[in-house]
Structure 1
Amino acid sequence: MAEATRRRGKGRPDDRRSGDRLVDRELDHLPPEARWREWMQRVEAAIFAASEPVGRETLARIVGKSCSIDLLIDDIREELRGRPYDLVAVAGGWKHLTRPAYADAIRAAVGGGEKAAELTPSEVLVLMCIAYFQPITRGELSSFFGKEVSRDLIGQLRGASLIVSGPRSPTPGAPYTYVTTKEFLLEFGLDTLRDLPDVEALEDAGLLSKDKLLAGDIPAALGQGEGEEEEEVVEDQVS
């Protein structure tokens, strides 16, 4: 009895790996066109069945080693042209999403689905700064706005799973920094932080800089106005 139990126990760690072996990834017995079609269907089925974005490493488990996942995704998206949904790169993977043009029809038929995070203008502004300048401390955020960013406001963003604590800052007291999350990418339909609006252009032009932000040298591209009028608007939004 004990020996039988040990034999069953030895087999358990291999159960997950054996599942991979059950899938013929290479499909060498199929002609090239049929093989590509089968890979397309597998990838689309896996993404459709998943509740979270499916990453490249996961998809690589069900297609041949020589298969280009990017080209496969392109072919699937081409076939989805004219359909009310698409495969979208978001949060480091791919996910089936309905097209924005059908949002009103979906709400009328089945309601709003998952409720999006409801943020105040102050929270949106602070979240934008964290997204662009992470990792950043609450003190640095307060220096930017000229007024303390409250713990409650940070708590609201944490409660919405849009930010988490990052590494400790090397500044005196070693305060925690804040960084955005995968949920932030999902909420705003971004694949990576490099998809933030104009981030590369702003960096290349020298307009996007935490040092300039903390020094109060806020470029017009990121502000809402100039001079005292801009400062009053920012303070109203943070209060």
Structure 2
Amino acid sequence: MIPEPRDLAPEEIDRMVEAILFAALAPLTVAEIAERLPPGCDPRPALLRLQGTYEGRGVNLLRAGGTYAFRTAPDLRHLLVREVVETRRLSRAAIETLAVVAYHGPATRAEIEEVRGVSVSRGTLDQLVELGWVRLGRRRPTPGRPATYVTTDAFLDHFGLESPADLPNLADLRAAGFLGDPTVQEALSLPDPKP
């Protein structure tokens, strides 16, 4: 048997409104709350009382436009942030492009393509920019004023370098065993990093 509104204490209506809002998947309007209450119950006074009750607590009853919902207190949102480190492997094209920018930078797209011997897709440079390892540099004072690409401090930080001068040179790469094939060593045009 559904109780009559006149038989319900304000605290009981508060409990009903609180339960309705707590279980709601989305913010609710006053009319949507009223539909779920016993006929004749007005949720507005209960909403005002609940706002006062939850003020200063970990969860607040907030009004957004014409809707109401429970939300985490703004000063505690940082407790609910969960940072996830997403590891992504760079494609061979991205690694080669990054190496060209690191060793030859500032480098234009045409210069990157010339060193690599193939065209550079827009997505490759976009990925490096999104990672924060490459950024746009100054435009070259040549016809067409092409944009240049340079490495960033985030790139240096990620690879534990103090400056671009700390990049390994050809002798370092040979000593580390990265250049085991002598034919590759002869064909490489790896400049010493610019100070």
* TM-score of the aligned structures, taking structure 2 as reference length: 0.43
Higher relative contact order (CA 8 A, sep 6+): 1
* TM-score of the aligned structures, taking structure 1 as reference length: 0.36
User: Which protein is bigger by CA-based radius of gyration?
Assistant: 2
**Hey, which of these two has a bigger chunk of helix by percent?**
1
